[in-house]
Structure 1
Amino acid sequence: MTVSWTAEAAELPGAVRYTMVTGSEPTDRWHVSVAMPPPGLRAAAGPGPFPVLYLLDGFLTFVIAAQIAQTTLSFSLGQLRPVVIVGISPATDDLKRLSAQRARDLTPTTAVARPLHGKDVYGTGGGDTMLDLIRHVIAPYVESAHPLDPGDRGLGGFSLGGLLTCWALTRRPEGFRRFLAVSPSLWWDDHLLLDRRRAPVAGRDACDVYLAVGDREDSPDRSWPVMSAELREAVAGIDMVADLAGFTGRLRHAKNVDVHSEVIHDEQHATVWPAAVTRGLVHLYGTRRTKP
């Protein structure tokens, strides 16, 4: 595979956005955004190498997580390790293509799912290919261009990105030391990741895990914004709070997994990411292990 890279300044202080091209198809172009500690915090942050958190669904997750990491570091009194946030997303502003690619790239198995009806034109089940792209192409390039610690990689995501994060944690943990999954779509493929027989927990080195869901994600009837009748029917029966509890229970019996899981009061699927990523960063990178 021939890969080319170009770079441009990003909107955040200390950030840069790369465009990576891996082939000739429109779906072979990626944005990889890197947020280093900003200039005003470089003296406090030190020279590195820094731990790095790779975020899936970068068009949804990167800017908020990078700003929170920078703000929290500013007020941490030295009790938060400087962490570099890397957001990965398809290089397009077309929402239909973004939806179709995330359905393909962030699902671990080929399955048909009512919530993705009409959004799966590229198919599903490309999660392992996405993980390979991060491990073998994106991470080596970014870590050669910036003072990052390849021994302290994290993987994080929200919704379908949280699903793939949980898949990596459960089945393909190699290369990652920390995992952050917010509102993971654990309903995927008939609750694949809740099934010990279909998805046994792989052996691994020690890892640190933060999981979260909003307490209003137990029923579509409690959702905001209010869903259409068609969408409510598509997601009927999904209880993301119960699913996360079941997945957390699995991890508590796994070796070398230090897991912190919480249900965040009064948060919904559309609002939970900022609160959860703040608490997750403090848990995963705080120098004093207190409950966020």
Structure 2
Amino acid sequence: MSRLIHLLFVLGGLLPWGAPGAALAQPAAQPVPAPYALDRTEVHRLHSRLLQRDYELYIGLPPESEAGARLPLLFVTDAPVAFPLIHAMSRRLSHEGPQSRQMVLVGLSYALGDSPTVSRNRDYTPSQRASSAEDSSPRYGQAEAYVRFIREEVLPYLAAHVPQADMSRRYFAGHSYGSLLGAHVLLHHPGLFQRYILSSPSLWYDQERVLREAEQLAAKRQPLHAQVLLLAGAKEQTAPGRRPRPGQEADGDIVGNVRRFERLLRQMPGVQVQARIIPDEDHLSVFPSAMVRGLRWALPQR
């Protein structure tokens, strides 16, 4: 009787083929999906002795067809957001276009263990937020230390580990706070970068500190040898006669500040500056359009 019962179970698909008492068949384990990786990219972990923090550098290498070439470097802040976008667009514009030249893309990521907000607030801002209406957290205002990290640790590391990099051609791209960092570097660290793509810079920060510093340098006719492209979305401006609420300067007249910064830079010998206001874009949406224009400007196809 027991053999008959077993046969019925087998025929009914309730037991696997085999000896009586065999275990029920288990579903096959599904393979773990592989993470998506951008072609020709690397992630380098770099410990900063100066800052006592760890950072990741995202490196976008040129196509293998450029083997042996020495290419300019484009540094971009806020790498987790900006790097994949610029990497994709640069490959399309330089290879499929062609509308711009090849480069080595360097993404400056956030400090490991910090949130993006904490890391960029600290590393990209040149001073404390002095207004009583603003947060005066000590997590702001360490841009000078971060610039030293770039100069003394990032640049030597790239020179030693990225043979395609032409270390004499260094360009900078940033948006918002990242662009504020670029404006600070432009005014106070001549020669660190030769070209700047500054998208929607947060020039309102700390009661327009960078604009006030630019006014002082312009009055002295301070020479700055750099090429600068300033960009903003047309919607990044305050309505005529309206002032932003205290503590909400980021919602203010970024377009007006860009125009003012452009006028001041034009008064400094050696600066070549352009400003472009992009229609129909706001602070969140303008970055892709700004970077496409920036790539064509900074790396023109000859």
State the TM-score, normalizing by the size of structure 2.
0.77
Kindly state the Cα deviation for residue 249 of structure 1 after the two structures are TM-superposed. Answer: 0.7
164, 167, 171: which is aligned to 2:188? 171
Q: Counterpart of 1:80?
A: 100
Q: Counterpart of 1:211?
A: 230
Kindly state the Cα deviation for residue 114 of structure 1 after the two structures are TM-superposed. Answer: 8.0
Kindly state the Cα deviation for residue 256 of structure 1 after the two structures are TM-superposed. Answer: 1.3
Q: Counterpart of 2:273?
A: 259
Distance 1:148 1:15 in 2: 14
Q: Counterpart of 1:14?
A: 40
Q: Counterpart of 2:80?
A: 59
119, 122, 125: which is aligned to 1:107? 125
Q: Which residue identity is paired with 2:43?
A: R
TM-superposition CA deviations, 1:3-37 (whole Å, max 9, x none): xxxxxx98211100011122599x70111100011
177, 187, 204: which is aligned to 1:187? 204
The answer to whether structure 1 residue 140 and structure 2 residue 156 are counterparts is: yes
Change (3 A) 1:197 1:135: closer
Aligned residue runs from structure 1 range 33-44, under 5 A: 33-37=58-62, 41-43=63-65
Kindly state the Cα deviation for residue 129 of structure 1 after the two structures are TM-superposed. Answer: 1.1
Aligned length: 260
201, 225, 240: which is aligned to 2:254? 240
Distance 1:63 1:153 in 2: 19
The answer to whether structure 1 residue 269 and structure 2 residue 297 are counterparts is: no
* Structure 1 stretches of at least 4 aligned residues deviating more than 6 Å after TM superposition: none
Distance 1:164 1:203 in 2: 19
Q: Counterpart of 1:30?
A: 55
Q: Counterpart of 2:139?
A: 123
Structure 1: segments with no counterpart, 5+ residues:
1-8, 221-230
State the TM-score, normalizing by the size of structure 1.
0.80
Kindly state the Cα deviation for residue 143 of structure 1 after the two structures are TM-superposed. Answer: 2.4
| Stretch deviating more after TM superposition (128-137 or 55-64) | 55-64
Distance 2:238 2:285 in 1: 15
Q: Which residue identity is paired with 1:157?
A: G
Kindly state the Cα deviation for residue 144 of structure 1 after the two structures are TM-superposed. Answer: 1.9
Kindly state the Cα deviation for residue 238 of structure 1 after the two structures are TM-superposed. Answer: 1.6
Distance 1:148 1:215 in 2: 36
CA contact (8 A) 1:10 1:33 kept: no
Q: Counterpart of 1:223?
A: none
Which secondary structure does the structure 2 equivalent of 1:234 belong to? Answer: coil
CA contact (8 A) 1:192 1:199 kept: no
Change (3 A) 1:115 1:152: farther
Kindly state the Cα deviation for residue 158 of structure 1 after the two structures are TM-superposed. Answer: 0.7
